[in-house]
Amino acid sequence: MTKNKPQLRSRSWFDDPDHPDMTALYLERYLNYGLTREELQSGKPIIGIAQTGSDLSPCNRPHLELAKRIRDGIRDAGGIAMEFPVHPIQETGKRPTASLDRNLAYLGLVEILYGYPLDGVVLTVGCDKTTPACLMAAATVDIPAIVLSGGPMLNGYSGGRLCGSGTAIWEAREEHAKGELDYEGFMKRAADSAPSAGYCNTMGTASTMNSLSEVLGMQLPGGGSIPAPYRERGQVAYHTGQRIVDLVREDIRPSSILTREAFENAIVVNSALGGSTNAPIHITAVARHIGVDLQIEDWEKHGLDVPMLVNLQPAGKYLAEDFHRAGGVPAVVGELSKKGLIHEGCLTVSGQSIGENCKGRGSENSDVIRSFDKALMPSAGFKVISGNLFDSAIMKLSVLSEDFRDRYLNNPDDPDAFEGDAVVFDGPEHYRKLIDDPSLNITKNSILFIRGAGPIGYPGAAEVVNMRVPDYLLRRGIKYLPCIGDGRQSGTSGSPSILNASPEAAVGGGLALLKNGDRIRIDLNKGQANMLVSEQEIQSRQQDLEAAGGYAYPESQTPWQEIQRGIVDQLSEGMVLKNAVKYQRIVAT
């Protein structure tokens, strides 16, 4: 695997005899905290540690400690570590939405990796958007890079029952709305769901993206699932530090790892995980930055018929600690490989292929990670939906409850399609204000819509499509209504939704023309969702909308909101910054 030793790029900063003045200038300030000239001019690789942890980012805070073990590994393997901060992205703490900051962190990290004397980088990831932001930057710059997860939280318990982060809150808010759980009880349940340091312990966006970074080949085998407090977490941090030094010496870059086949592996594993609906957005973004043509249709083509093997909340029963004990990602890849569903030849940061990494691996707890004959669900991938409301949207089939399937899909007269009446909300604030208002007259035959929630309408795309039904329906035992929207939804939510609709209302998508009471027909088998409104009426609404100056959305509150709104792509295209995509592999091989 070892190639001819490449000239390290850091030497053009620290040891360029043709430009002694510049070398002196670059060197002297890195000496002032105790590094020596001998070290910086020794020809040892300089390895960045992209630190995403901070007090503002609790999910990634374990990295503040783990960085010490990464440093030990780098030093022992003959490298020099330089740790630096990445713009924080805390999913649950950032207003208006953390996803606004994914592209900002990406841009910042690209500048750092390109503009400083780094030969390779350890990407510390965890909370939802930190993984894609780091992978996108590594893809653009294309210097040797390796991912280290901070690890999920331990299992949460409440009243003796497993209690998973995010999911517990979606459930508790219903009990609270029905008057079954008081404020104190609600807050206690939330705290119980987050029992230790680490990121979400459900198969939400964080565990999905950490697992998929391993499947893509960017993380050492097993590294995506070790709980944050476990002994192995520090140990894999040490090995990650060692390994990045070798990756620099071997000149193995993201572009040799992030291939078309690797992305197809990620799609397949995502179905087996019951993974988050945010995965298509982020995986598409990484693919676009490395120059792999991945379309939303690829999710259905490669992923729809893959069964769900991992029994984790929100689609299943267990939590991340159980997933790790059952063998984690290598066990899932091992099970899928038995059926020939994995491109086994894909190179990984271990220096071996994914097939070699996972050879002979399989489930170590057959209820948590199932075999094919005991799969939790036959087709667990995303269905791609289109029609006169949008060009594309996705639906996560793995979370459709029995009750939902019985009510809507197993109807003997019409097994694949159902109709309902639209109730339309314009953005999250409108929905929150009106959802319990009886005058809207929401019934069990309603379909809830939310628009103005896409990357431009609600800068960064709001996680709101999983709308709670009104209190008065909850009290009558109706837990879910079909929800459709141009926003996203939390990966920890089990709501039956058609989401990530593109183009969004704010750029003239069909959702902008919808009115309360419009009849909607959804045919999941054909992958169609349409408003049953005449072509003439649609044209007339279109003219009215244009006369009004287009779909109105709230003004930007910060400079970045305004800047991003001007250059961001739609969710089906990964919500990337359009003019960033042409910058690929910007550090030449």
Residues numbered 236 to 255 that lie near ligand FES (CB under 6 A) are: none
Q: Which of 449, 442, 425, 451 is nearest to 478 (CA)?
A: 442
Give CA–CA dist 386/382, Å, rounded.
Answer: 13
13: left (phi over 0), alpha (psi -120 to 50) or beta: alpha
206 binds, among ligand FES, Mg ion, none (CB under 5 to 8 A by kind): ligand FES
Q: Is 321 in the site for ligand FES (CB under 6 A)?
A: no
Q: Is 209 in the site for ligand FES (CB under 6 A)?
A: no
User: Which segment (4-12, 197-205, 440-448, 553-561) binds ligand FES by CB under 6 A?
Assistant: 197-205
What values do phi and psi take at 474, rounded to 5? -55, -45
Smaller CB distance to Mg ion: residue 23 or 205? 205
Q: Is 490 in the site for Mg ion (CB under 5 A)?
A: yes
Residue whose structure tokens are 């997860």: 149
Mask: binding to ligand FES, 46-65, rule CB under 6 A, as x and -? -------------x------
Mask: binding to ligand FES, 119-138, rule CB under 6 A, as x and -? --------xx----------
C-alpha torsion 474→476→477→483, nearest 10: -50
Enter the tokens of residue 442.
Answer: 């929401």
Smaller CB distance to Mg ion: residue 204 or 241? 204
Q: What number of chain residues touch ligand FES (CB under 6 A)?
A: 9
**Closest distance of CB 91 from Mg ion, Å:** 5
Give CA–CA dist 321/211, Å, rounded.
Answer: 13
Provide DSSP, 130-173. HHHHHHHHHHHH-S-EEEEE--BPPPPEETTEE--TTHHHHHHH
What values do phi and psi take at 100, rounded to 5? -60, -35
334 binds, among Mg ion, ligand FES, none (CB under 5 to 8 A by kind): none
> Do 386 and 528 touch, CB atoms closer than 8 A?
yes
User: H-helix or E-strand containing 426?
Assistant: strand 417-426
Give CA–CA dist 306/551, Å, rounded.
Answer: 38
HSE (side-chain half, CA atoms, 13 Å) at 499: 30
**Closest distance of CB 58 from ligand FES, Å:** 8
**Closest distance of CB 278 from Mg ion, Å:** 6
490 binds, among ligand FES, Mg ion, none (CB under 5 to 8 A by kind): Mg ion
> Do 308 and 272 touch, CB atoms closer than 8 A?
yes
User: Which segment (31-39, 182-190, 196-204, 426-434) binds ligand FES by CB under 6 A?
Assistant: 196-204
92 binds, among ligand FES, Mg ion, none (CB under 5 to 8 A by kind): ligand FES
Q: Is 150 in the site for ligand FES (CB under 6 A)?
A: no
From 53, 91, 100, 320, residue interacting with ligand FES (rule: CB under 6 A): 91
Smaller CB distance to Mg ion: residue 202 or 205? 205
From 49, 200, 236, 262, residue interacting with ligand FES (rule: CB under 6 A): 200
Bridge partners of residue 523, in order along the sequence: 417, 528
From 150, 195, 204, 241, residue interacting with ligand FES (rule: CB under 6 A): 204
CA 156, 160, 162, 163 dihedral sign is: negative
Positions touching Mg ion (CB under 5 A) are 91, 128, 205, 490
| Chain positions contacting ligand FES, by CB under 6 A | 59, 91-92, 127-128, 199-200, 204, 206
